[in-house]
Chain A
């Protein structure tokens, strides 16, 4: 519930709505860039931006 989160930060409804739009646009951009990216590190970052609520596990350690 991003808008609720923004309102909790004491933002005006308009600022809160804008912030939600910016975040949504950011995620959309990451998805578009991800489709064109081959670099592993950058792709991982873009995945994280595109899916901010997805939990990422640390890489498994080889013993």
Chain B
């Protein structure tokens, strides 16, 4: 399933990159944000299909196409902020989310903390009640292998 989705993810990324190279001058930051936001449903789909895409490589390719390589860290964190909440995922999918976040944590640091803050402060209103209930029964933050010093599971 993950192998199949890798191909889909690749064509999605290729098409966005091609679109970005179409812009003659420098792409504005806000336009780039919107591109990443438009791309976000595919991030969720990738996780649901157990494909741990590389968020750093994804951002790099988009930014290279947009000729804005200096925004790498900012855009990578923006991408992370658009990932689904762990409570929307089952155990296997939460592990994939974990893998994706850890890639950014290893390179930049602070990724886990930022996401943890976001997850603690807001709830995914878009999750329907039955789905949310099911997700809670199947998934817990214990499924994520974030360092326990950063992830205070008991608070959740």
Q: What residues make up the interface of A, taking CB atoms closer than 8 Å to B?
A: 6, 9, 11-12, 14-16, 18-19, 21-30, 33, 39, 41-42, 45-46, 49
Contact = CB atoms under 8 A, between A and B. Distances in A.
Interface string B8-37: 100110111011111100011011001100
B123 interface: no
Give the interface SS of chain A, mostly helix, strand, loop or mixed: helix
B19 A33 contact: no
Q: Which of B7, B12, B30, B38 has the most CB of A within 10 A?
A: B30
Contact of A23 (B4, B19, B28): B19
Contacts, number: 72
A7 B16 CA distance: 20
A39 B8 CA distance: 10
A9 B38 CA distance: 12
Given A11-B31, A11-B34, A18-B28, A41 B19 contact: no
Q: Which of B7, B11, B14, B23 has the most CB of A within 10 A?
A: B11
A8 to B, nearest CB: 11
Nearest to B24: A21
B21 A25 contact: yes
Interface string B112-142: 0000000000000000000000000000000
A11 B27 CA distance: 13
Contacts of B34: 6, 9, 11, 15, 19
B141 to A, nearest CB: 32
A27 B7 CA distance: 17
